[in-house]
């Protein structure tokens, strides 16, 4: 089975019990919970993160026995850690399909009030579980630590590094690693084939679409039991941080960037679902410039020179850049006259040219 092939898990396990048994207290489920916890820090030893290959193996085994959101989230987290961005849309689509197909039977099932057994089951626990997708200690943190893509050169880029480079406001205080420069990100992105760039864009779009479907399923069922307006449930299933990160990626890696077009927050598509009401900070402008002509090079030199003129007016590099701009359109002999005028006549004679750079008339 392909590591990201979840087709078999979309089908009901049994006609009479589509989601199978509740595995909450089985040895396999408890072992998965222990693996997810890793080893906490103690007085004598540093803590250790989860063994993600182990979590992936354990959760995949349980997926064949039960349809459980807790297991699906564990599998999603491990897959994202190990496979990078490509696993995110697959994971979110799986969760979305389960919510739409198996709402009543999916584990953990909506809670029934023992004092009112005829009342509509309360989905609060399920919503709280799904809200962990938006937590730095949950799926959001896994995505930030994941690579943009598994193969080179994008394997060198953590999604969280890109997020830091795009944001003017600081990210979590415990993330002290310096952000890579925009130019480094641009360079690695430009090394990719157009096909790989399209794969990355498609993964981000699929993930955003799946989040929208998750919100739609939850809104439908929560509204159907008139719980949406309660204070306890307000915002319980919103994912503003995850939506923000994916929307920033979508904007930063949009098609116009191939031509060096600058994309800012104003060009970002609006978020869908409840997260659309969340106010997002505008990301720093990010463009991946492709230099396809001499004119493009001149414009790039001008942009750097103007930056230095405004921010570091005493820096001598601006004069060298101005000189480079003026030399870009000159012929070889014109360059010699500009850079070494005393050698121009000798070079022209050696090349059989006149001092104007043209071949002399034949005798």
pLDDT in tens, 126-140: 888 899 999 999 999
134 and 261 share a domain? yes
Q: From CA 14, how far away is CA 210, in angstroms rounded?
A: 26
Per-residue pLDDT band for 237 (boundaries 50, 70, 90) equals: low
Would you say residue 96 lies in a domain?
A: yes
Would you say residue 129 lies in a domain?
A: yes
256 and 344 share a domain? no
235 and 298 share a domain? no
pLDDT for 119: 52
Q: Print the domain residue range for 300.
A: 294-351
Would you say residue 286 lies in a domain?
A: no
* Positive or negative torsion for Cα 236, 240, 245, 248: positive
Domain boundary among 247, 277, 307: 277
- The 10 Å Cβ neighbour count of residue 183 is 11
| Cβ density class 74-103: b for 16+ within 10 Å, e for less | bbbbbbbbbbbbbbbbbbbbbbbbbbebbb
Instruction: Name the percent of the chain lying above pLDDT 90.
Output: 39
Average pLDDT over residues 22-31: 97
Would you say residue 287 lies in a domain?
A: no
Which among 156, 159, 149, 145 is positioned nearest to 52, based on CA atoms? 145
Contact 164/148 with Cβ under 8 angstroms? no
DSSP 84: G
Would you say residue 284 lies in a domain?
A: no
Residue 13, classed as helix, strand or coil, is coil
Domain boundary among 277, 307, 336: 277
Contact 110/119 with Cβ under 8 angstroms? no
Would you say residue 361 lies in a domain?
A: no
58 and 185 share a domain? yes
Considering only 150-164, 190-204, 265-279, 302-316, which range has the smallest mean pLDDT? 265-279
pLDDT for 37: 93
Residue 353 has pLDDT above 50, yes or no: yes
35 Rama class: left (phi>0) / alpha (psi -120 to 50) / beta? alpha
How many separate domains does the chain show?
Answer: 2
Which among 136, 97, 131, 122 is positioned nearest to 237, based on CA atoms? 131
258 and 311 share a domain? no
Domain boundary among 248, 277, 306: 277
27 and 84 share a domain? yes
Q: What is the mean pLDDT of the chain?
A: 78
42 and 172 share a domain? yes
Would you say residue 312 lies in a domain?
A: yes
171 and 254 share a domain? yes
Instruction: Please give the residue that has the higher pLDDT: either 119 or 195.
Output: 195
308 and 185 share a domain? no
Full DSSP string of 246-273: HHHHHHHT-GGGGGT--B-GGGSPPPPG
213 and 66 share a domain? yes
196 and 341 share a domain? no
Most confident residue range from 48-57, 229-238, 290-299, 315-324: 48-57
Residue 111, classed as helix, strand or coil, is strand
pLDDT for 176: 52
Q: From CA 187, how far away is CA 183, in angstroms rounded?
A: 6
328 and 271 share a domain? no
Would you say residue 285 lies in a domain?
A: no
Which among 92, 140, 129 is positioned nearest to 245, based on CA atoms? 140
């Amino acid at each position: 089975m392909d590591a990201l092939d979840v087709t078999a898990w979309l089908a009901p396990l049994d006609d009479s019990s589509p989601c199978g048994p509740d595995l909450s207290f089985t040895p396999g489920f408890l072992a998965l919970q222990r693996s997810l916890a890793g080893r906490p820090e103690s007085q004598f030893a540093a803590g250790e993160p989860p063994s993600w290959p182990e979590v992936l193996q354990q959760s995949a085994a349980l997926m064949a026995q039960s349809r459980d959101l807790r297991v699906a989230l564990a599998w999603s987290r491990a897959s994202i850690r190990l496979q990078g961005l490509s696993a995110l849309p697959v994971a979110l689509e799986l969760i979305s399909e389960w919510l739409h197909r198996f709402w009543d039977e999916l584990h953990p099932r909506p809670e029934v009030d023992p004092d009112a057994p005829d009342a509509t089951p309360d989905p609060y626990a399920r919503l709280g579980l799904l809200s962990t997708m938006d937590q730095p200690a949950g799926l959001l943190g896994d995505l930030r630590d994941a690579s943009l893509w598994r193969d080179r050169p994008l394997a060198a880029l953590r999604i969280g590094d890109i997020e830091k480079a795009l944001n003017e406001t600081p990210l979590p205080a415990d993330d002290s690693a310096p952000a890579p420069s925009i130019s480094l990100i641009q360079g690695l992105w430009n090394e990719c084939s157009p096909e790989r760039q399209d794969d990355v864009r498609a993964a981000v779009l699929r993930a955003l679409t799946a989040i929208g479907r998750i919100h739609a399923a939850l809104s439908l069922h929560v509204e159907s039991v008139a719980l949406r307006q309660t204070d306890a449930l307000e915002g319980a299933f919103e994912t503003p941080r995850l939506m923000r990160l994916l929307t920033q990626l979508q904007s930063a890696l949009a098609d116009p960037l191939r031509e060096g077009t600058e994309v800012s927050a104003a060009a970002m598509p609006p978020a869908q679902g409840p997260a659309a009401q969340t106010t997002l900070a505008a990301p720093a402008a990010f463009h991946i410039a492709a230099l396809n002509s001499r004119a493009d090079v001149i414009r790039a030199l001008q942009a750097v020179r103007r930056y230095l003129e405004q921010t570091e007016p005493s820096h001598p590099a601006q004069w060298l850049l101005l000189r480079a701009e003026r030399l870009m359109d000159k012929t070889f002999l014109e360059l010699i006259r500009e850079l070494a005028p005393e050698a121009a006549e000798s070079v022209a004679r050696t090349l059989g040219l006149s001092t104007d750079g043209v071949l002399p008339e034949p005798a």
